[in-house]
Structure 1
């Protein structure tokens, strides 16, 4: 086969915070998961099916965070998703009647009714409520690569002084991934590309082979990567590092320059849940007390104006083709510029949030499919999986020590540490130290004490999710994020105090265990400042620092 001019290393990182509220019949924030299933994960799987049927290689990587995996495999949330989609189907049936004869809205109502009906059929019949099986199929077939991400998705540089805490998140990630997919992951997506020097030592202990970082995390290194971000490098202890290509991000992700903002694409924010008469829409809302998005969106982006044009799928399809061709042209030109300066075939690493494709950008899966099909036809570029690329290397990677960095605003940590959210860290850090203290007192607890200490560790980990400070900063659902951090810290101290007083009770602990049921195999001893190697049931050696 013809040698490609360059490789595309596409990475979709899929993550949502752990939100599960069995104490309520319905809960608003649980819809974040339901929307992602409907608009991103199921459409991606259908895209994989079409490509596979036509013999088109997929060769993209997807990281699933442990919190997302846990929710997708949770029977309560699976059943609640079914209830959620059934309501949207009833809404679609009502909309088809309401818009009958309208040349603008009737076709869109029928489109959405078909969309949600297909989602329900795929979810309940094809995947029998377990959509991760679809990704596992393509993973084991070698068509995609599945990565993991640390525990509850913390911003790891904020916990550099607690290596056992970081190790706990890595260990929980590997265990969750193995339970879901039957294999131990070789790659890890660092939350928001948050990296600090020395993190690779912990990843190496757990046999992670590669990870991703921001462009400046490599380019500002005193070691200076000779190929920039267009070839992977290795850390001093031998882990491969792929640097993010900024130009790709601007094309697809940028709110000002990116494809999703094109006027003909579907507008995410204009939804009939807010437009139509409340008495009409109320029976179909997930929460019947307030207006929320339904997913039925009839208008196009249009521009920065309240006077939106009707969404025309055929126009959007034409624009998808244009943008796919533009993306390939841009990267071909880019490859032609950097190739003469390199001694190896360039690889362009393009990481994106998975939820961009379908949820935020309705046409995103269609665009990605068109890119994959066109690349396969042209042969100038080739999509490649990171482990395959690394396995084909016939020369040693350059050794580079990355620097502290992230892909957040301005490249470091201001998103997760500023005036609205800085208060949380003193409480979390103190709780970590308290847990390490109590482990010294109860290094070999069993029975009720062991259950309590394991739950204390879970509560500390859940408080560390970087989603909470992000939400606080954005001001959307701020009260919920604040309450979640306070709840987890309060739960930890209730256990801590009860252990000190010797008055542990089972009723409250059992209720919390059932509510926050993530990481069932978590061992609190992973948080100890000095730990020994252990062997897990699946045989993977966990080297404990």
Structure 2
């Protein structure tokens, strides 16, 4: 069996900047990736194709796809895209060399195509997405088209998180998914595929049946899922030899000369009119994007991937002496956002694999159908550089590690004291009212410890923005907790309400469900 797993994740971006980092990242991904991916899945579902892939959608992404502010802003972004395409089609900037992507004649043709795409997405968004992403994803899950994976709130790096907050983030994240999709996910994508020994027991307690790790966590032996420790929780490993066929910095498909170049912009309109052309070709010399040339490359890479999967399934089955399971896993945002042709490639692969005799199923299918081997003890691991924790705990992010520990300690102390006061006021056995102040403290704390910030710093990708966001949410936590500790309950409430206007995600988060300290 072959399983394709997609991990859909962005940090909370609403109300926290627009360009060059901020909300624009969300709207670009929504337009270039989420809309086309759903379009592909709905087409395949209409042909009665089921169990196509396992789709992880983190609670923080689900929250943004349902958020009224984000929905309004997304529609505005699509309309602005259409406007920019109109500008490109009728009044391109002169000056670029003839024959290059930004030459006037090339921009006019590109703008006309972009205008048609923008109009189509505007129409589709208004008809399908305008009331939120949850109904869209729920329909796909209900039809058996996809298996949805859940995850902990705000995507924390779990091994470094205080156990009580780790448990709270996971159980609240699963509850959030159940509220949005009408079902509690049987599996999760552990943020960053990060694992520490013993976490499987927390998964079992939360009702998680399976989760993803990277291939090296299983020493490369990913041909079967493995129960972890003495639990029934199954770890599925990403097959790197297959996954890297697609997404490798040196030889992955998206770098092909025919595909749209992610990094080259037409500065007058912000559109991306070039094809990769060549790795050493500067942006100003890139050739115009040619859809027909790109389409031919897609067919070539579909055939190559199908052949790669078949050969890997055969070789792994022979090696283990029983039918093998191969898992390819990627960030969802690769397909459309980073790699423009990715959704087309996905659709053709999902048609071509069964036609080539490859059985396609989800992680839940694999577990139900016995693609599970002997128990394993997993090492501390992740899918980051070095396959250890260095991206999130190394010297380059030591300040963030210390910040996270301090903020979590501050938050837990504040919430515990508030709960103690509330229990005393309620009397023996009396109902404890919900505490919106404590809720917001936990909400800001979870945003502080998001794994995105150290990742962006370690990779030097908008590192300044990442540090700003981590310290902003840390400040919010301290500010609210400080007012509460000083006995200024009214001030703490005002502060919590103010921060909630920007960070109001996870409305059902309830601090009363945080396990009391031992």
TM-score normalized by the length of structure 1: 0.86
Distance in 2 between residues matched to 1:177 and 1:308, nearest whole Å: 44
Distance in 2 between residues matched to 1:58 and 1:523, nearest whole Å: 34
Return the offset for 1:444.
4.6
3-state SS of 2:3 partner: strand
1:14 to 8, 12, 22: 8
3-state SS of 1:383 partner: coil
3-state SS of 1:242 partner: strand
Question: How many residues are aligned here?
Answer: 495
1:383 corresponds to: 360
Contact 2:171 2:206 in 1 (8 A): yes
1:312-345 Cα shifts (integer Å, max 9, x gaps): 1111111101111001111211222222222431
Taking the TM superposition and a 5 Å limit, the aligned residue runs for 1:195-214 are 195-214=195-214
1:437-456 Cα shifts (integer Å, max 9, x gaps): 33443335559992211111
Taking the TM superposition and a 5 Å limit, the aligned residue runs for 1:285-434 are 294-306=270-282, 307-379=285-357, 381-393=358-370, 397-434=373-410
Distance in 1 between residues matched to 2:334 and 2:291, nearest whole Å: 18
CA distance 1:30–1:388, shift in 2 (3 Å): same
Distance in 1 between residues matched to 2:468 and 2:18, nearest whole Å: 19
1:516 corresponds to: 503
2:158 corresponds to: 156
Contact 1:463 1:488 in 2 (8 A): yes
**Unpaired segments of 5 or more residues in structure 2?**
94-102, 423-431
CA distance 1:108–1:56, shift in 2 (3 Å): farther
Taking the TM superposition and a 5 Å limit, the aligned residue runs for 1:116-515 are 116-159=118-161, 162-219=162-219, 228-235=221-228, 236-272=230-266, 274=267, 276=268, 281=269, 294-306=270-282, 307-379=285-357, 381-393=358-370, 397-446=373-422, 450-504=435-489, 505=491, 506-515=493-502
Return the offset for 1:43.
0.3
Distance in 2 between residues matched to 1:212 and 1:443, nearest whole Å: 35
Return the offset for 1:301.
4.1
Contact 1:56 1:372 in 2 (8 A): no
Distance in 2 between residues matched to 1:455 and 1:374, nearest whole Å: 48
Structure with a larger share of its residues in helix: 2
CA distance 1:297–1:445, shift in 2 (3 Å): farther
1:86 to 73, 79, 91: 79
Return the offset for 1:105.
3.8
Distance in 2 between residues matched to 1:455 and 1:326, nearest whole Å: 50
Contact 1:302 1:309 in 2 (8 A): no
Distance in 1 between residues matched to 2:488 and 2:250, nearest whole Å: 58
Distance in 2 between residues matched to 1:456 and 1:56, nearest whole Å: 45
Distance in 1 between residues matched to 2:210 and 2:32, nearest whole Å: 29
CA distance 1:74–1:249, shift in 2 (3 Å): same
Return the offset for 1:231.
0.8
Which region of structure 1 is more displaced relative to structure 2, 54-63 or 326-335?
54-63
Contact 1:167 1:526 in 2 (8 A): no
CA distance 1:327–1:299, shift in 2 (3 Å): closer
3-state SS of 2:359 partner: strand
1:250-279 Cα shifts (integer Å, max 9, x gaps): 11110101111111111000011x3x3xxx
Contact 2:21 2:462 in 1 (8 A): no
CA distance 1:523–1:436, shift in 2 (3 Å): same
**Unpaired segments of 5 or more residues in structure 1?**
1-6, 221-227, 282-293, 532-545
